[in-house]
Amino acid sequence: MVESMGRHVLSVRDLAVEFGGDRGTLRALDGVSLDLHAGRVLGVVGESGCGKSVTARAILGILDRAGKVTGGQVLLDPGTSSQQDLVALDPNSQTMRGVRGGRIGLIFQEPMTALSVHYTVGNQIVEAIRAHRELSKADARNRAIELLGEVGIPRPESRVDAYPFQLSGGLRQRVGIAMALAADPQILIADEPTTALDVTTQAQVLALLRRLQRDKGIALMLITHDMGVIAQMADDVAVMYLGRIAEFSPVRDLFARPRHPYTRALLRSVPSIRAEPRDRLATIGGTVPHPGARPSGCAFHPRCPEVIAGRCDQSAPRPVPPLEAGAACFLNEGAA
């Protein structure tokens, strides 16, 4: 069992998502289980195409039109009298709109995805505030200025009237964070929030997220492909591969004793400061399979350097139990 955590605020259980198309139905998520706790950061890591962003969008009910949740639950306030299953709600209902942006804030990878070029950043933050709080325009504008200052934007009194295209990428991402915080959410989902930023700005944004998360006791779900970001930010880590959880572990244990061959391969591919000049970087052979061509048995077996012939290619290992540290791998069975 993973060490004692904060208050349990969100529980994802056996979540399955499918996308329909001309070539049939594709299963993008296949029984994903995750838990978010107040005051902790859950890092969700894996290569592109592993289902990280689909998980976030399924939680918030903002899947593409072709996507559909076909199984599982997303429980808000699990185990309490106010428990809600978000999967059971109409994504366009007033209740779900109150959750989306109210109880749960979303930070996009590219801030221009969330910002309109036609309106000032202040107007957009004011709109987000008034969608969830009964405030006058004047009070909401004052709150917007406070939020801009809170996320480290200089001269918020003047920047509140700026248009997104007048701001740098780093400032636009801070505006996106301010919008996500507009209704004082319990939960923040940050989907690759630093990918489009330079290294210096990335470090500033990560430090900002960590400070806000700690100061406000927010449960943060941080989606990334960068193991360095995971090491810096996460308390717990879920490693995803082809729509499933390959490994779950507290961050220190993950780096000290990775249990899944995929996790070990991800860690080997991280550049080291101890490497000699011109050393060739380690890579993971092959690519993540298309969901429509899922391999038999363990999905990672065609790329796995530790594959057990006749077993890994024939049957799938047991999923990682919720709240348990472990790996969905035959090599892990019976391990402490």
Q: What is the pLDDT, as a whole number, of residue 334?
A: 56
CA 223 to chain CA centroid, Å, is 3
User: Does a structural domain hold residue 3?
Assistant: no
Q: What is the pLDDT, as a whole number, of residue 275?
A: 63
pTM of the predicted protein model: 0.92
d(CA 97, CA 60): 9
Say yes or no: 178 and 304 in one domain: no
Count up the domains in the chain and report the number.
Answer: 2
Q: How many CB atoms lie within 10 A of CB 309?
A: 8
d(CA 123, CA 131): 12
Say yes or no: 205 and 324 in one domain: yes
Say yes or no: 290 and 228 in one domain: yes
Q: What is the pLDDT, as a whole number, of residue 3?
A: 53
SS3 44: strand
Say yes or no: 64 and 196 in one domain: yes
Residue whose pair of structure tokens reads 């779950």 in the numeric block: 248
Q: What is the pLDDT, as a whole number, of residue 5?
A: 65
What CATH number does the domain containing 216 carry? 3.40.50.300
Q: What is the pLDDT, as a whole number, of residue 1?
A: 47
User: Does a structural domain hold residue 207?
Assistant: yes
Residue 74, beta-bridge partner list: 12
Q: Identify the CA nearest to 240 among candidates 194, 196, 291.
A: 291
Question: Hey, what are 269's tokens?
Answer: 């591919």
Q: What is the pLDDT, as a whole number, of residue 22?
A: 76
d(CA 82, CA 30): 27
Say yes or no: 171 and 202 in one domain: no
Final residue of a structural domain among 184, 209, 236: 184
Say yes or no: 153 and 85 in one domain: no
- Ranges of the chain with pLDDT below 70: 1-5, 272-276, 334-336
Say yes or no: 14 and 95 in one domain: yes
Say yes or no: 266 and 155 in one domain: no
Q: How many CB atoms lie within 10 A of CB 271?
A: 10
pLDDT in tens, 19-51: 987 778 899 999 999 999 999 999 999 999 899
Residue whose pair of structure tokens reads 């402490």 in the numeric block: 336
Radius of gyration, CA atoms only, the chain: 21
Final residue of a structural domain among 127, 155, 184: 184
Say yes or no: 192 and 142 in one domain: no
Say yes or no: 288 and 213 in one domain: yes
Q: What is the pLDDT, as a whole number, of residue 336?
A: 41
Burial class (CB in 10 A: 0-12, 13-18, 19+), 21: exposed
Q: What is the pLDDT, as a whole number, of residue 7?
A: 87
The parent domain of residue 306 ranges over 8-103+185-332
